[in-house]
Structure 1
Amino acid sequence: MRPQVVAHRGASHENAEHTLGAYLAALDAGAEGLECDVRLTADGHLVCVHDRDLRRTTSRRGVVSTLDLAELSELDFAAWKNPWTDLDDEAPERDEELDRVLTLRKLLETVADYDRRVEVAIETKHPTRYGGLVEKRLVEMLRDFGWDTPGSPVRVMSFSFTALQRVERLAPHVQLVQLVEHLPTWPMLRRVIGKDWLVGPGIELLREHPRFAQRVLRSGHDVHVWTVNTEADLDLCIRLGVKAVISDRPAYMLELLDQRQDQR
Structure 2
Amino acid sequence: MACGRLRTVVMIYAHRGYAAKEPEMTWASYRAAIDWAERTGQPLGLECDVHYSGDGHLICLHDLTVDRTSTSHGRAYDRSLAELRILDFGSWRTRRPSPDQRRLITLAELIELTAVARARGVDVSLAIETKHPNPRGTEVEDGVAALLEPYGWTTLGSPVRIISFSLPGLERAGELMPEVPRTFLIEKDFGDWWDGRLPEGITTVGPDYELLLQEPDYLARALERGHGIDVWNPNTPQEVTWCLDRGVTGITTDDPAMAARTIARWSKRHSGIA
TM-score relative to the length of structure 1: 0.91
Asked if the contact 2:23/2:89 (under 8 Å) is kept, the reply is yes
**Structure-2 change in CA distance of 1:72 and 1:189 (3 Å):** farther
SS of aligned partner of 1:119: strand
Asked if the contact 1:8/1:248 (under 8 Å) is kept, the reply is yes
**Structure-2 change in CA distance of 1:135 and 1:187 (3 Å):** same
Deviation at 1:183, TM superposition (A): 2.8
Q: Give runs of aligned pairs for residues 39-78 of structure 1, distance below 5 A.
A: 39-78=51-90
Partner letter of residue 245 of structure 1?
A: I
In 1, distance between residues paired with 2:193 and 2:264?
37
Q: Give runs of aligned pairs for residues 179-258 of structure 1, distance below 5 A.
A: 179-187=185-193, 193-258=199-264
Partner letter of residue 46 of structure 1?
A: L
Output one character per residue of 1:186-217: Cα deviation in whole Å (capped at 9) or x when no partner. 43896660244310000011112111111111
1:259 pairs with 2:265: yes
Deviation at 1:26, TM superposition (A): 1.5
1:107 pairs with 2:114: no
Deviation at 1:252, TM superposition (A): 1.1
Asked if the contact 2:16/2:46 (under 8 Å) is kept, the reply is yes
RMSD across aligned positions (CA): 1.8
Indicate which of 130, 134, 137 corresponds to 2:136. Answer: 130
Moved more, 26-35 or 125-134: 26-35
Deviation at 1:98, TM superposition (A): 4.4
| Structure 1 residue runs of 4 or more that deviate by more than 4 Å after TM superposition | 188-192, 261-264
In 2, distance between residues paired with 1:191 and 1:243?
17
Asked if the contact 1:195/1:220 (under 8 Å) is kept, the reply is no
**Structure-2 change in CA distance of 1:220 and 1:259 (3 Å):** closer
> How many pairs were matched up?
255
Output one character per residue of 1:222-260: Cα deviation in whole Å (capped at 9) or x when no partner. 110000111121112111211110000111111222334
Partner letter of residue 142 of structure 2?
A: K
Moved more, 72-81 or 26-35: 26-35
Partner letter of residue 253 of structure 2?
A: S
In 2, distance between residues paired with 1:154 and 1:53?
26
TM-score relative to the length of structure 2: 0.87
SS of aligned partner of 2:228: coil
Asked if the contact 2:231/2:251 (under 8 Å) is kept, the reply is yes
Asked if the contact 2:195/2:222 (under 8 Å) is kept, the reply is no
Partner of 1:89: none
Q: Give runs of aligned pairs for residues 147-166 of structure 1, distance below 5 A.
A: 147-166=153-172
**Structure-2 change in CA distance of 1:107 and 1:189 (3 Å):** farther
- Runs of 5+ unmatched residues, structure 2: 1-6
In 2, distance between residues paired with 1:188 and 1:62?
37
Output one character per residue of 1:10-30: Cα deviation in whole Å (capped at 9) or x when no partner. 111221000111111112222
Partner of 1:26: 33
In 2, distance between residues paired with 1:112 and 1:73?
22
Asked if the contact 1:202/1:226 (under 8 Å) is kept, the reply is yes
Partner of 1:36: 48
**Structure-2 change in CA distance of 1:189 and 1:75 (3 Å):** farther
Q: Give runs of aligned pairs for residues 172-183 of structure 1, distance below 5 A.
A: 172-183=178-189
- Runs of 5+ unmatched residues, structure 1: 86-93
